[in-house]
Amino acid sequence: MSAVPVVVTDSWWRRRIVTPILNQLRQGTTPERIALTAALGAVIAVFPILGSTTLLCGLAAWALRLNQPIIQLVNYLCYPLQFALLIPFWRAGEWFGAPHVSLSIPELMARFEAAPLPFIREFASVALGGIAAWLLFAPLAATAIHFGLLPVLRRAASRLRRPAGPVVIG
């Protein structure tokens, strides 16, 4: 009777997130650079303008010479947070003078159909207020994420540098 081989597959999380980051550490990317890349990717991912984050992450990574795949990976992982924080950023933007706009879809559609240009102007003001709120939030969140990830990445890097086991000569 022959043994049936057991195929062990890594989880999606390990294959798609952990392994690429460990590979970057193996290739010499410092934990500090990876933490900075992840922090910026996460913070840019919640920028309060839908459809802009991939380009913004790409530009940030290019300008700061950060790892494009990692920043985009973090951006995509944090994409649901953009939806969760969109309205809070827009509402926080009211503190900066943005008008309070009802976010009822039927009401928005009716206002747009009635007067498109004033609607666009008013919604642009809401978006700018949201960006102002994001500008206050981003540095604090990026700092917290960066320093939160550093110990984990440093520990992973030190484990990768450690020899696999005792070397026996003779």
CB distance 127 to 99 below 8 Å = no
Can you give the pLDDT at residue 13? 83
Q: How far, in Å, CA of 36 to CA of 150, rounded?
A: 9
Can you give the pLDDT at residue 12? 80
Can you give the pLDDT at residue 155? 94
pLDDT bucket at 1, cuts 50 / 70 / 90: low
What average pLDDT is seen over the chain? 89
Instruction: Tell the residue number behind the tokens 């642009």, with chain if given.
Output: 124
Can you give the pLDDT at residue 102? 85
Span 44-69, pLDDT tens digits: 999 999 999 999 999 999 999 999 99
The two tokens of residue 92 are 């926080």
Q: How many CB atoms neighbour CB 17 within 10 A?
A: 15
Span 142-166, pLDDT tens digits: 999 999 999 999 999 998 877 655 6
Highest mean pLDDT among 5-14, 65-74, 103-112: 65-74
Can you give the pLDDT at residue 11? 85
Q: How far, in Å, CA of 109 to CA of 115, rounded?
A: 10
Could you give the count of Cα atoms lying within 13 Å of 42 in the half-sphere of its Cβ?
Answer: 17
Can you give the pLDDT at residue 160? 84
Can you give the pLDDT at residue 148? 97
Q: What is the mean pLDDT of residues 79-101?
A: 91
CB distance 72 to 108 below 8 Å = no
